[in-house]
Amino acid sequence: RRGIPGAQFVEDVQTYLTQLGLDVNSALAFLQERLQQYKVVEMKLLAQQRELQAKIPDIEKCLEVVATLQAKKGTGEELIADFEVSEGIYSRASIEETDSVCLWLGANVMLEYSLEEASALLQKNLDNARASLEVLVADLLFLRDQTTITQVTIARVYNWDVHQRRTQQVAATTIAQE
């Protein structure tokens, strides 16, 4: 999933540490670093998700406008529309019958399309945005699982270390008492 490394659930901490060839502090540092990496990726994915969630309604609105223009085509009836000039400032326009629309593609690029081409392009963009959002949501769920597994592993390694230290203390106390 987007190159996100999977987290390994640790059943036996001793075996885990031996396989990695790490001591407890090194293993905890490695796991904490991995957890931080997961958090950074999660922040990026959440930003992408917000962008897509804002983009989809805009595309749907554009599709509705193109559909309205197509419906009015051939009726001779003019369309009255209110549009935003800048934030909070609106103007009213009378739109005569037209066969084309201009679509803002971004990066200071606007192109003129026929109504049919515009509708097809917008529908394709909407389908792509929805598909991307689905993939993004799946990636976020996968990432949250990996984060949880890593947090559990950190807790297991830490608790194992505490248990080992207590066992050593008890053994040392027993030997000292004898």
CATH of domain 15-165: 1.10.287.370
- Count of CA atoms in the C-beta half-sphere (13 A) of 124: 6
The tens digit of pLDDT for each residue in 25-48 reads 999 999 999 999 999 999 999 999
**Which residues are CB-neighbours of 159 under 8 A, at least 6 positions away?**
none
Average pLDDT over residues 60-83: 89
Given a contact cutoff of 8 angstroms between Cβ atoms, the answer to whether 31 and 157 are in contact is yes
- Count of CA atoms in the C-beta half-sphere (13 A) of 102: 6
pLDDT at 96 over 90: no
pLDDT at 178: 67
pLDDT at 1: 67
Average pLDDT over residues 47-68: 95
Strand pairing partners for 83?
A: 91
Give first-to-last CA distance, the chain, whole Å: 58
- One-letter amino acid at 155 equals A
Question: What band does 132 get if pLDDT is binned at 50, 70 and 90?
Answer: very high
- One-letter amino acid at 44 equals K
Cα separation, 144 vs 35, in Å, equals: 10
Other beta carbons within 10 angstroms of residue 122's beta carbon come to 23
Average pLDDT over residues 128-142: 96
CA proximity to 73, closest of 114, 108, 110:
114
Residue ranges of domains in the chain: 15-165
